[in-house]
Structure 1
């Protein structure tokens, strides 16, 4: 073991600083998150967190609430000599701070080689959003992954707004409805809700992007909702759409916390269990006051008693129970009989 070699967190910090110096990351740009560092450098979350902490202490990066860790506006580039020394310590050798005419020509050649396509750009954007959240997606960031300038992307997409719309539509193409489809209205609505939930689980950013008040035209998403509601009969179109959006809002609203959790993990370096464990003593002090009997009744099951999955399951059952009252009531009215009493179904799990 070479004891003269810098520790892993310092090597990572030096390499991120070198990217800033070379102009790959400009002031305000997001730096690699802790999750991305663990994947790119193959280190533990604690090491990734320590690397970003070191850069923050040096004033190279700063944490912006709601955004993440970005290059500090006051960050200045080190000299080429300092960069070479840092690179040598990291075992990577000297690096050029900026490219000349030859490098610019090489970049133009890469941009003109036909390697880019709308589909590849969309897939790249999805990859970034899945790993770091939608705020990490920018035309510059996607272009950097291809080794081209941001302008090269504008030949395929008009800008970030169009890119994200294409990303959302593309992930809805992943949905495969069951064949044969459930015949009952309740079974069909439940299946549609679970398809949405699974999609949000794979792509945590998607739920926060979608909007009920300002919906985007996405035929694939609309097709899934049409399929979900296809067995609900006897409703006028306005009522049917209200039922559909009530279900959508439950699934989407619950899933909106998925991206929050992803970004919180990147910001703090703690996953949910680690964070809950860290908050445990504070919660215990509050509960011991005796003023919170509901929380005290959870005992040692508090951490797993309520999760996003249990909230989804419980809420889904209650929404469908409510829809049942309306559907069965309408059916009974048409047939001239008394509506049967609805027995709520227990939440799954």
Structure 2
């Protein structure tokens, strides 16, 4: 991209003019991806906040739009006569700024560009307000991320008339969480099992799960262990949603393209003769293995619930988390498999 000159023109407007020219000239057509904030920052030598402000201006002009996980693309209908270069659309008044707008704007950035692209200055640039304005509503980025997580987890709730049976309720709870992680892939990156997020709306999902398992004679530790196992299945698969999106953005390769580039390494492993079972399984695929996270979630979830059913329904005296199912007391000798 050729950088326009003109020291009197703010850097973000020079970037706007360059991308606008590419769109108007047809170099970038409707649906085509425009450079991301990181690409703009690297190519033009500006801060991420400046790059974000440039994309925001193009969005306000109607030239581009954001799509979750696809980033910023050329809008379907491009205005025939773009606004004058020195007169970008007026940003919203700072008096209209609210905590909800700050949080929702931050969620939009994380959804489209990933959590790593989020910054307080970037949020301000997207909102078209002064760089320090968001700090009037939230003291730091860490606090903002917690508010984002709470808002995202609060987008789905549960019916007052709960389904019959523990399994139906657990299925609804797990699939609701999977839906949220699908919608906001960055969510699964925020908390580990050992250091969970303590935000009210995530607790609401946990309360739904725990209440489904309660009342079946499980001791408190076993009950909570089962809850953690179920949650770990959902989150454990969901982390790969963001990892893949980040990998694709950083490498410029889709999953299939990346695998194609690793064909020589894969062939060397297969031809080494050291991994006969792997070779047999991989050789049975006509068009390669298609890793489908949604299908793995469903099949793994069913297998998990099938395995937990005897414990929840009192038909087993096995062990969960090192505790004996029948008594709830530590029984390491009983839990240990026979030698």
Q: Give the alignment partner of residue 277 of structure 1, picking from 260, 263, 287.
A: 260
Deviations 1:35-90, CA, capped at 9 Å, x for gaps: xxxxx985645x859x959x96x79489xxxxx9x99xxxxxxxxxxxxxxxxxxx
Task: Name which of 197, 207, 220 aligns with 1:226.
Answer: 207
| Residue equivalent to 2:144 | 163
Equivalent in the alignment of 1:186: 167
Describe the superposition over 1:137-195 as per-residue Cα deviations: whole angstroms up to 9, x where unpaired.
11000000112222111111111111111111111121143575332212221221111
- Match among 295, 298, 301 for residue 278 of structure 2: 295
| Corresponding residue for residue 250 of structure 1 | 233
CA distance in 2, matches of 1:134, 1:229: 30
Unaligned 5+ runs, structure 1:
1-9, 26-31, 33-39, 63-67, 72-91, 97-102, 335-349
Among 126, 132, 157, which residue is 1:145 paired with? 126
- Further displaced range: 180-189 or 130-139: 180-189
Q: Provide the secondary structure at the position in 2 that maps to 1:205.
A: helix
Residues in 2 aligned to 1:48 and 1:162: alpha-carbon distance in whole angstroms: 29
Per-residue deviation, residues 79-112 of structure 1 (Å, max 9, x unmatched)? xxxxxxxxxxxxx99978xxxxxx9xxx9xx686
Instruction: Give the equivalent residue in structure 2 for 1:313.
Output: 298
Aligned-partner Cα distance in 2 for 1:61–1:168: 29
Tell me: CA distance 1:294–1:313, structure 2 relative to 1, closer, same or farther (3 Å).
Answer: farther
Q: Map Cα deviations across residues 198-232 of structure 1 (whole Å, 9 max, x no partner).
A: 11111010001123322332121111122123232
Higher helix proportion (structure 1 or 2): 1
Q: 1:256 to 1:285 in 2, by over 3 A?
A: same
- Count matched residues: 270
After TM superposition, the score normalised by the length of structure 2 is: 0.66
- Matched-pair contact (CA < 8 Å) for 1:276–1:303: no
1:126 corresponds, among 91, 100, 107, to: 107
Assess if the C-alpha contact under 8 Å between 1:234 and 1:330 holds in 2: no
Q: Which residue of 2 aligns with 1:82?
A: none
